[in-house]
Structure 1
Amino acid sequence: MSFALVILEAHGQRAERGQACGEAAYAAMLAFADDLRERGQLVLAQALATAQQRHLDGRWTDGPFTEAKEFLGGIFLLQNVSRAEAQAIATACPAAAWATVELRELGPCFT
């Protein structure tokens, strides 16, 4: 089965962390991804940049655009894991210490 770990972070949290804490968090996430990759369970791991929106007049605006407490900070796409394994991986994700980690099963696309 395939799953996505969706990392939802509080607005402003990265800036409040400070450089040393941010670097430690980044290193922990890289090690987490490397471990999943070595086990053949990781398809993709990406942090996400700030969202942008294009207006009809051609202007771009930085987001997020909805009233929300959290923003999408990154994703991990997992493959060849059971639901129980995916839940264990989500629990072990270092981001769970400072963010919400959602687990979503991936399904087929319908056209």
Structure 2
Amino acid sequence: MTDFDQDDIAAMRRENGGADLKRFMRDQLRAGVQRRDAPTAAALPPKPPGHRPGAWPSGTSPPEPRPSTHMPAAWGAALDDYRAVVMADDHTQLTSDQPCGCVTCQLTKEN
């Protein structure tokens, strides 16, 4: 019984001191909860035999990080070259009393 109007509700309030209206409302809530909590029809496929969630397959491991082929001195030289290129840009703030806002100029002034 989902089609009801004001006259039906008024009649339920009059009968049994409103107990019919309370029962009707409880039945409506119960039906809504059952519809909401009903299990879904689509079932998940079964897991393969021996499946362990979150683990690498037996006998394997994650790949190791590749070692760097460059020496630390080469990294330092490349960083110095990069800083020289960045500092070659036109930084008009370096000649004035105002500090430049770029990160490279700030690092240069700190060192």
Higher helix share: 2
TM above 0.5, yes or no, is no
TM-score, normalising length: structure 2: 0.28
Say which structure is richer in strand: 1
Higher RCO (CA 8 Å, separation ≥ 6 residues): 1
